[in-house]
Amino acid sequence: MGISGKSGDIDAEKKMKLAEAKVQQSRMTVIAFFIMPARTNNFNVETLKGQAVRKQLWDTANGVKEKFGRKLYESLLLGKLPEVNKMIDQEDLVMMKRALLSTQRHTLPPICTHNMLDDSTDPILNTIRRIGLFNHPNDRVKVIFHPEFLSSTSPLLPLDYEEFVRGCHLGVFPSYYEPWGYTPGECSDICSALQLDL
């Protein structure tokens, strides 16, 4: 069964199963983004929490990096090699442990970044559920459904379309003409593109 009515016809089930089968034999993880509009009423709370945790990790890492760099610089100014075991102090270790503890979750990460109004009837979500891609830690294929257009002002994914595509290894398009985004030809200027006329 394919997905239709949102962005043309795409047999998502076959493509996700193929991707999963190919990466099962490797250590590579494939992250499949579905970015297309759907009816939502707000951001998913778990997704917002994830963004806050990511920011906390970034801030913690940068704080430790600054202190580490300062200690390294001061040691080199004195003409000494730094004592590596003294570069990170107890306070830094406590901050890093707290940051790591904040990343632990007792539920699976959400597949959808928003609260869907038609969650039970959405063809993308139903296909993902049917084939069992729930973003388990050992899943080789992770799925993220972002049901709105990309925008650099979004608090969840603050990228415009071109920035997002530049960070991808492959763009998969359900058909050649998409009135809401780039065509495969336009995308191929930025990353590899695959056109699927199904």
Beta-bridged to residue 30, according to DSSP, are 141
Q: What whole-number distance in Å separates Cα of residue 70 and Cα of residue 68?
A: 5
At 49, list the tokens. Answer: 């929490």
Nearest to 10 by CA among 32, 25, 28, 30: 32
CB atoms within 10 A of CB 9: 15
Fold (CATH) for 12-44+110-195: Rossmann fold (3.40.50)
- pTM summary value: 0.73
In order along its 198 residues, the chain shows pLDDT tens digits of 445 555 434 456 656 666 666 666 777 788 888 888 899 999 999 999 999 999 999 999 999 999 999 999 999 999 999 888 888 889 999 999 999 998 888 899 999 999 999 999 998 899 889 888 899 988 888 899 999 988 999 988 899 888 888 888 777 665 555 555 555 566 666 655 444 444
Cα separation, 65 vs 116, whole angstroms: 40
Q: Spell out the residues 6+ positions from residue 15 whose beta carbon is closer than 8 angstroms to its own.
A: 172, 196
* Residue spans of beta strands (DSSP E) within 36-173: 40-43, 114-116, 141-146, 170-173
pLDDT in tens, 39-60: 999 999 999 999 999 999 999 9
